[in-house]
């Protein structure tokens, strides 16, 4: 038998890892369904102006609280009915996808980068820096997340941007903890020592050498935080602290709909359903990601 070890280039190795990952991910039908729905969501958000039948803020004075098209008194043109001031539900829902995706991306980016940075420094340097940073994280974690976000928004003033910042701050500790644990696990490994001996500085070691090997749990947490961000920002919107009316954010839509729950069920049902489906899709993907990345984790 001949010795058949061929040296693959970095790009080829990465391509192989991607193929392995996709093979495992595909096995989980729920995850694939989630991915599919998520892609639909992205399409809805990006192509909203093309897909929505009406302008989301346009009020049709002659079509207040119209039921969905299949119900009694439904009107063609307003597929999912209209709200209390005559705005088309379907269009608002489609534009709402923009908010949800935007919120998810922004919140996760801030929380991820901030949390990783802080967590890596804590794990890498250890000692009093680690203690200090982790105490701060513990303090943040002691507050129920929604409450802290609410108070932060109260300080900063209601609105979408402030809501996103508040939520991102509240999620940071989760990423910080994961990053710290990962760094502490990898710090003493040989490849790190090798790089250090070769003259790599601390920053480079942390972010170019160690970090790429700790990505799996961080990615899983990122999907979880994405879905939580959508839920929490909807909650803030529902409480009047997030995106302000007339924004067609799904949570804000629910806040406006609250007084009509017994009269017009569609104004309440559809935005919530949109939230549920989006969050469910992302959570399904997250589950699939975790399972697909796990065997790789164990192998390494």
Which residues form the interface with other proteins (CB under 8 A)?
A: 1, 30, 135-136, 138-139, 142-148, 150-151, 154-155, 157, 227, 231, 234-235, 238-241, 251, 254, 258, 261-262, 265, 268-269, 271-272, 275-276, 279-280, 283-284, 287
CB of 138 to other proteins, least distance (A): 5
Spatial CB neighbours of 105, under 8 Å, sequence gap ≥ 6: 226
Start-to-end C-alpha separation, the chain: 27
Residue number with CB closer to other proteins (205 or 275): 275
- Give the dihedral of Cα atoms 196, 125, 184, 199; nearest 10 deg: -10
Q: Cα separation of 88 and 54, whole Å?
A: 7
- For other proteins, the closer of residues 49 and 144 by Cβ is 144
> Least Å distance between CB 121 and other proteins?
18
CB closer to other proteins out of 219 and 280:
280
* Nearer to other proteins (CB atom), residue 14 or residue 258: 258
Nearer to other proteins, 178 or 192 (CB): 178
> Least CB distance from residue 111 to other proteins, whole Å?
17
3-state helix, strand, coil in the chain (%, to 5): 75, 0, 25
Residue 85 or 148: the one with the smaller Cβ distance to other proteins is 148
- In the complex, what is the shortest distance from the CB of residue 91 to other proteins, in angstroms, rounded to a whole number? 20
CB of 279 to other proteins, least distance (A): 4
Minimum CB separation from other proteins for residue 280, in Å?
4
DSSP reduced 3-state for 268: helix
Residue matched to tokens 């017009």: 264
Tell me how many degrees the CA angle 156-160-163 measures, rounded to the nearest 5: 55
How many CA atoms lie less than 13 Å away from 34 in the CB half-sphere?
22
Q: Which helix (H) or strand (E) holds 250?
A: helix 250-257
Q: Cβ distance 107 to 164 under 8 Å?
A: yes
For the record, the structure tokens of 9 come out as 């280039």
184: nearest Cα among 120, 128, 127 = 120
Cα 280 from Cα 228, distance rounded (Å):
11
C-beta of 139: minimal distance to other proteins in Å? 3
Of 221 and 283, CB closest to other proteins: 283
């Amino acid at each position: 038998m001949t010795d058949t070890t061929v040296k693959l280039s970095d790009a080829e190795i990465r391509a192989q890892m991607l193929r392995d990952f996709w093979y495992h991910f595909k096995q989980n039908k729920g995850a694939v369904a989630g991915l599919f729905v998520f892609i639909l969501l992205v399409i809805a958000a990006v192509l909203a102006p093309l897909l929505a039948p009406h302008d989301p803020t346009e009020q049709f004075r002659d079509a207040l609280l119209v039921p969905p098209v299949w119900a009694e008194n439904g009107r063609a043109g307003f597929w999912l009915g209209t709200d209390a001031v005559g705005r088309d539900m379907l269009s608002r829902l489609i534009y709402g996808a923009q908010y949800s995706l935007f919120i998810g991306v922004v919140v996760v980016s801030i929380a991820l980068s901030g949390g990783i940075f802080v967590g890596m420094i804590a794990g890498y340097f250890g000692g009093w820096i680690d203690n200090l940073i982790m105490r701060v994280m513990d303090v943040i974690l002691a507050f129920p997340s929604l409450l802290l976000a609410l108070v932060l928004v109260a300080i900063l003033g209601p609105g979408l941007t402030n809501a996103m910042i508040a939520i991102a701050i509240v999620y940071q500790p989760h990423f910080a903890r994961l990053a710290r644990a990962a760094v502490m696990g990898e710090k003493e490994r040989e490849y790190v020592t090798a790089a250090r001996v070769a003259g790599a500085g601390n920053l480079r070691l942390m972010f170019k050498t160690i970090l790429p090997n700790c990505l799996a749990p961080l990615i899983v947490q990122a999907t979880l935080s994405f879905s939580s961000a959508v839920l929490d920002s909807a909650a803030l919107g529902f409480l009047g602290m997030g995106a302000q009316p007339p924004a067609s954010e799904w949570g804000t839509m629910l806040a406006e709909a609250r007084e009509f729950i017994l009269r017009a069920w569609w104004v309440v049902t559809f935005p919530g359903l949109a939230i549920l489906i989006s969050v469910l899709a992302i959570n399904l993907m997250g589950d699939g990601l975790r399972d697909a990345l796990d065997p790789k984790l164990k192998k390494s």
